Amino acid sequence: MNVIRIIYIVVVNLCLFSIQAQTLPEFNNKPCLFDEKTKKLIDLEKSGYQTMAKAKGIFKAEAGFFMDGITSSVKIESQKEIKFIVKVIPGTDPTSLFDLVQFEIKKDKRVFITSKASISKSSNSFEKINYEVKKIKEGYYFLIVKDLAPGEYFFGANDFMYAFSIQ
């Protein structure tokens, strides 16, 4: 009986390892949506940072980044918890590489304002959305986001924005 039980446990673990190995990203620093139902990865909408600066009257200005279009091609149904998977150089904390931020919709663009200035003051702050990190194996992590409201979002990394839409 014990031999059959051990064989069963080994087979189940090998199957789980095989499934997990097929659902890991190939490239470093490129978060992907993990579809819980199909156990597959879905690439997020990728764009380089397009900068913008705009005068707001004589004494005010704002600067930031934008993506064309009012919505991402990657649509995710609103749910309590959404998992993304990212591959990073082993020993790297994913939260040091990726900020999760919500876009504002302005005209025909998704806009992320990083700084505002007026004649009397300026600010360079923006609201980051917290997410949990769970290690899958060395160099691979789940980025777990909870309770996102409908809207347009992106993970910002060094040179790219990885966008998605919550419906």
Q: What is the 3-class SS of 28-66, one letter each residue? A: ECCCEEEECCCCEEEECEEEECEEEEEECCCCEEEEEEE
- Three-state DSSP at 150 gives coil
Positive/negative CA dihedral, 33, 133, 129, 96: negative
Rounded to whole angstroms, the Cα distance separating 56 from 63 reads: 10
* pLDDT tens over the chain, length 167 residues: 565 655 555 444 444 444 444 478 888 999 999 998 899 999 999 998 887 776 666 667 777 888 999 999 999 999 999 999 999 999 999 999 999 999 999 999 999 888 776 666 555 566 889 999 999 999 999 999 999 999 999 999 888 999 999 99
Q: Are 85 and 44 in contact (CB under 8 A)?
A: no
User: pTM for this structure?
Assistant: 0.77
